[in-house]
Chain A
């Protein structure tokens, strides 16, 4: 069935829309748009993130506003309870010394972790890594802020591990060779069986944060 579109002139009353009105609307639109501007992922999630207590902020605000609107006005004679601000649980909490240096401080209601010298690695330190091509051996340097390692840059394996690299390529044998010869090695093959293949093992003094 084809829909018919009629173009009838309707004698409707249309208020004249002058340029000033348009300008006003434009300004309003701009102001509102700026108010709504922000930074978002390219795929926008319409769900507002929950706050720390797990509540969705806008939903909570809406519910509060509705409750306010629905609630009868309080009688003037009703006494307002004396609300005390909650005391800070860290008010008298002294720092606790850590065995490795530094201290645990009470922050936002909880004692902190003990501090470490760095986050992931000692800045500028180097560990051995393995590659899947050519030499099968490389090195990775820790970033200046100690928060991550850089790329694995290919290098010739040391003479002790050259034959293993040729025959076994990047393998647990090569990682074992790395360990056996006193290097600090990325644990790609989880040789310490702790489920972590991004850490380093071996002679890692000066590499691992302690």
Chain B
């Protein structure tokens, strides 16, 4: 009999045949106990409907007078008509009509009559999570209106480059280790007459195993990161193995969008892979040829030197 450890499988559905031997059920029982302990270890809800960020960001200044205001919630949030209150600091509070886009998890208001130079606070409500009684935290967004009207569409340099790697992290919902490709996207310059920091970034996958090249797949919406910072996109291995391309646009506070420019592409390989010298390395074949030639030269020189030493030459 083999040791019992061989049947505790770390991943994949444990289909171990139709035999109902007591040993197998016992081992599965042990695995279930271990699983239950792992489940108890995570007390926090794994997916919350909290406010993740706002556009414009909290404490923003110079917000256009015609701006709409956005709050992005966790993807499990559902809007059930909760009040959104806009406080004109020192003047009044008013409940404003809000619309929720559950595909982006974004709650939006379009206030009228924002006064330049005045301060406001948007009281974003805590939203319920889908099919649960959980309610997320509310959030107060402070901002100051500037003397500017957003009239032009934003400009954006698109995705300039991509680096990728494989991530294996324990998932807070499943308790198991999930394998993902992570792509760090370097963005080109972005600008808007309503301010760069208030732009929303929308990322699309334009090529890949499950992507229709004629209809890019939306994969990420978030506030545009500070200049010089990359944006990380996480995807399953199945959806991003091989030749993968991404493109992105930015959207301003009046819902005008930039163009994306051409897609940026990268080729991923199946893990496990090897960090080292490769024919398909970043420098391509030229680098490989140069490396081969230099290596041959070096080996030849060493052989020559060894020969001379054997013969006793200095």
Is A145 touching B234 in the complex (CB atoms < 8 A)? Answer: yes
- Residues of A1-48 whose CB lies within 8 A of B: 14, 17, 21-22, 25-26, 28-29, 31-33, 35-42, 44-46, 48
Q: Point out the residue from A17, A44, A46, A112 that lies within 8 Å of B218, measured CB to CB.
A: A112
Is A95 touching B171 in the complex (CB atoms < 8 A)? Answer: no
Look across to chain B and name the residue whose beta carbon is closest to the beta carbon of A40.
Answer: B278
Q: Point out the residue from A100, A110, A141 that lies within 8 Å of B216, measured CB to CB.
A: A110
**Stretch touching chain B among A75-83, A127-135, A157-165, A174-182:** A127-135
Chain A hits for B13, CB < 8 A: 129, 131, 151-152
- Residues of A107-129 whose CB lies within 8 A of B: 107-108, 110-119, 122-125, 129
Q: A35-B287, A48-B284, A153-B35 are in contact. Are A110 and B172 (CB under 8 A)?
A: no
Is B103 touching A102 in the complex (CB atoms < 8 A)? Answer: yes
Most buried by B among A31, A37, A46: A37
Look across to chain B and name the residue whose beta carbon is closest to the beta carbon of A145.
Answer: B234
| Bound Cα distance A46, B281 (Å) | 11
Q: Give the number of residues in A that approach B within 8 Å (Cβ atoms).
A: 77
CB distance from A16 to the nearest CB of B (A): 8
Is B278 touching A44 in the complex (CB atoms < 8 A)? Answer: yes
Is A17 touching B305 in the complex (CB atoms < 8 A)? Answer: yes
A147 part of interface (Cβ distance < 8 Å): yes
| Bound Cα distance A105, B260 (Å) | 10
B270 part of interface (Cβ distance < 8 Å): yes
Is B178 touching A143 in the complex (CB atoms < 8 A)? Answer: yes
| Bound Cα distance A123, B132 (Å) | 12
Q: A48-B285, A52-B245, A107-B206 are in contact. Are A150 and B278 (CB under 8 A)?
A: no
Is A45 touching B301 in the complex (CB atoms < 8 A)? Answer: no
Most buried by B among A116, A129, A151: A151
| Bound Cα distance A111, B298 (Å) | 54
CB distance from A135 to the nearest CB of B (A): 9
Chain A hits for B287, CB < 8 A: 32, 35-37
CB distance from A175 to the nearest CB of B (A): 15
CB distance from B262 to the nearest CB of A (A): 6
B131 part of interface (Cβ distance < 8 Å): yes
Is B46 touching A124 in the complex (CB atoms < 8 A)? Answer: yes
Chain A hits for B272, CB < 8 A: 42
Is B101 touching A101 in the complex (CB atoms < 8 A)? Answer: yes
Chain B hits for A123, CB < 8 A: 46-47, 74-76, 173
B14 part of interface (Cβ distance < 8 Å): yes
- On chain B, which size bracket covers the interface? 35 or more
Q: Point out the residue from B16, B257, B283 that lies within 8 Å of A105, measured CB to CB.
A: B257
| Bound Cα distance A26, B291 (Å) | 11
**Stretch touching chain A among B17-25, B89-97, B188-196:** B17-25
B146-185 near A? 1/0 per residue, CB < 8 Å: 0000000000000000000000000111111010100000
Most buried by B among A21, A146, A147: A147
Chain B hits for A33, CB < 8 A: 277, 291, 294-295
A98 part of interface (Cβ distance < 8 Å): yes
Q: A36-B283, A117-B103, A151-B12 are in contact. Are A133 and B20 (CB under 8 A)?
A: yes
Is A52 touching B265 in the complex (CB atoms < 8 A)? Answer: yes
| Bound Cα distance A115, B172 (Å) | 24
- Residues of A163-189 whose CB lies within 8 A of B: 169
Is B173 touching A49 in the complex (CB atoms < 8 A)? Answer: no
Chain A hits for B113, CB < 8 A: none
Q: Point out the residue from A57, A95, A112, A149 that lies within 8 Å of B215, measured CB to CB.
A: A112
- Residues of B245-266 whose CB lies within 8 A of A: 245, 247-249, 255, 257, 259-263, 265
Is A147 touching B294 in the complex (CB atoms < 8 A)? Answer: no
| Bound Cα distance A120, B304 (Å) | 62
Q: A33-B277, A37-B282, A42-B273 are in contact. Are A107 and B216 (CB under 8 A)?
A: yes
Beyond known contacts A113-B215, A147-B234: 13 more, CB 8 A cutoff: A14-B304, A40-B274, A41-B270, A45-B280, A88-B261, A107-B249, A108-B216, A108-B262, A111-B215, A134-B25, A145-B171, A147-B178, A169-B18
What are 28 A-B pairs with beta-carbon distances under 8 A? A32-B294, A35-B291, A36-B289, A37-B281, A37-B287, A39-B274, A40-B269, A41-B269, A41-B274, A44-B278, A49-B242, A49-B280, A58-B285, A107-B247, A108-B216, A108-B247, A110-B206, A110-B215, A115-B103, A115-B104, A117-B105, A123-B173, A125-B130, A129-B13, A133-B19, A145-B178, A150-B178, A151-B14
Interface residue ranges, B against A (CB under 8 Å): 11-20, 24-25, 28, 32, 35, 45-47, 74-76, 101-105, 129-131, 171-176, 178, 180, 202, 204, 206-207, 212-219, 221, 234-236, 239, 242-243, 245, 247-249, 255, 257, 259-263, 265, 267, 269-270, 272-295, 297-298, 301-302, 304-305, 308
